[in-house]
Amino acid sequence: MSDAQTRAGFVALIGEPNAGKSTLTNHMVGAKVSIVTHKVQTTRARIRGVAIEGDAQIVFVDTPGLFQPRRRLDRAMVAAAWGGASDADVIVLLVEAHRGVTEGVERILEGLKEIGQGRTVALAINKIDKVQSEVLLALTKDLNERFDFSETFMISAEKGHGVKDLRTWLAGHLPTGPWLYPEDQIADLPMRMIAAEMTREKLTLRLHQELPYQLTVETESWEERKDGSARVDQIIYVARDGHKGILLGKRGETIKAVSQSARAELEEFMGRKIHLFLQVKVRPNWLEEKERYSEMGLDFRDGNK
């Protein structure tokens, strides 16, 4: 296959928190490369999943959800989302069918008017199974009157409805040129960060308080062993002593369950034995530490804006 026949480029998925961006990325790629939970604001880094569609290589930028930022971390996440959109060849706005045009969607549409003029921007109305067809038609008309979208798709990222049509369309709207990644690569994140994201997802699912937004996970070391397995040591940073107790649980049951679940998923993802060790540390000011932002793939300076 010559470069003249191939296409490659970046597609930014933007939308409100919990709009389905991570689920869509994983479905498009055919593997789990992005954290998926029912809690909002779980995606922090701009995770790139790589999908092949015919002669095209589509690199999906799964951005953090766009919301009204309050803390430094919030501001850095929102800056990362708009940065991912600004750098992309194609932008896809995801809107939840049953929520319609919220204040958050209106803010995103205003932002698109600044960066999206003259660019290829598609609309994907997600979770279409939750509303009647007449509601979908009215929402489609309303959104297309607010912004000149190149194309509109009705999808269910969770069930896969309409995803194939969207992927085919995206492949045809990327620039011609050589592929950007090896054919067998599905994400450009280091394995250390993917492993940390998997553990953070399990913590988010296990803990139903506000705590998940006040913790971060870092892979401290990754040791390859002669038998083909790997030892992975991770640190969970929390802001308060009380959070540490919640994470550990009675007799260490919570952290043990999280470790087992994260290890099982990591082993399935990598296809080999993983020895996962978790440690909880209290760092009251981790939200203000530059090193923590670097680990998450965020720009610490963006938190000042």
| Range 7-34 average pLDDT | 78
Q: Which of 172, 205, 222 is the last residue of a domain?
A: 172
Share of the chain above pLDDT 70, in %: 73
State the pLDDT confidence band at 37, using cuts at 50, 70 and 90.
very low
The residues pairing with 233 across neighbouring beta strands, listed in sequence order, are 221, 277
Statement to judge: residues 18 and 134 lie in one domain: yes
Phi, psi for 23 (deg, rounded to 5): -60, -40
pLDDT at 40: 39
Residue span of the structural domain in which 245 resides: 191-304
- Structure tokens belonging to residue 225: 């062993």
Statement to judge: residues 210 and 108 lie in one domain: no
| Range 103-127 average pLDDT | 85
In a domain, 116, yes or no: yes
CA distance 132 to 73: 38
In a domain, 287, yes or no: yes
Residue 143, pLDDT > 90, answer yes
Residue 229, pLDDT > 50, answer yes
CATH code: domain of residue 114:
3.40.50.300
Statement to judge: residues 45 and 88 lie in one domain: yes
Averaging pLDDT over each range in 47-51, 57-61, 169-173, 254-258, which range is the top one? 169-173
Contacts of 260 (CB under 8 A, 6+ apart): none
Statement to judge: residues 47 and 166 lie in one domain: yes
CA 10 to chain centre: 14
Residue of 46, 68, 5 whose CA lies nearest to 189: 46
Residue 42, pLDDT > 60, answer no
Phi, psi for 157 (deg, rounded to 5): -60, -35
Statement to judge: residues 130 and 41 lie in one domain: yes
CATH code: domain of residue 273:
3.30.300.20
What is the total count of domains within the chain? 2
State the pLDDT confidence band at 28, using cuts at 50, 70 and 90.
confident
Statement to judge: residues 202 and 264 lie in one domain: yes
In a domain, 179, yes or no: no
pLDDT at 77: 54
Q: Which of 117, 145, 172 is the last residue of a domain?
A: 172
pLDDT at 193: 77
Q: Name which residue leads in pLDDT, 70 or 11.
A: 11
Strands 151-154 and 215-224, sheet pairing: unpaired
- Structure tokens belonging to residue 45: 């880094």
pLDDT at 210: 47
Statement to judge: residues 113 and 42 lie in one domain: yes
pLDDT at 75: 57
pTM value is 0.59
pLDDT digits (tens, 9 = 90+) for 192-222: 777 888 888 888 888 865 455 567 888 888 8
Residue 303, pLDDT > 60, answer no
Statement to judge: residues 166 and 268 lie in one domain: no
Statement to judge: residues 104 and 141 lie in one domain: yes
